[in-house]
Amino acid sequence: MKSFFTICLQAVLFLITCRVMAQFFPTTPLSAVQLAANRNKALRQGVSKATTEKEAVNVPPKRDCVCSKIYDPVCASNNESYYNLCYLECRVPPSLNVTVVHQGNCIPF
C-alpha cells in the first residue's frame, strides 16, 4: 500500500512540476488565430490571401519574451487581439505607441 501511495504522490508532483515549468518557456501567440485575423483584415482591405498568409507566417517576434500561457485576451489600439498583455508588449515595438483599448478580443468590422 505504501508503494502505491508513493507512486501516486510522485505522479502528482510530476504533473504539477510540468504545469509550472510550462509557464516559464517562451511561447508564440496563437498563430492560427492571428492568421485568421489577418485574413479577415485582408478581405476588408482588398489584399490577396496568399500575401497575407505569407506575411503572417514569416513575421518574427519583435524581441525575446517569456509570456504566461494564461489566456487573458486584450484588444489593442491597432484593432488586433493579443493572447494576453505580455504578448502585446512582446510583439509590438514601443515606438508604435499601441495601447490596450479593452480587455477581451477586438470586434471585427
86 or 48, higher pLDDT: 86
What residues make up the domain containing 36? 29-59
Query: What is the reported pLDDT for 26?
Result: 52
User: Residue 107, class by beta-carbon neighbours within 10 Å (0-12 exposed, 13-18 middle, 19+ buried)?
Assistant: exposed
The CA distance from 92 to 81, in Å, is 12
Distance, CA of 35 to CA of 12 (rounded, Å):
37
Residues 69 and 96 grouped into a single domain: yes
pLDDT at 104 over 80: yes
Its pTM stands at 0.43
Number of domains in the chain: 2
Is residue 24, in this structure, part of any structural domain at all? no
Pairing of strands 100-103, 74-76: antiparallel
Q: Is the pLDDT of residue 55 over 50?
A: no
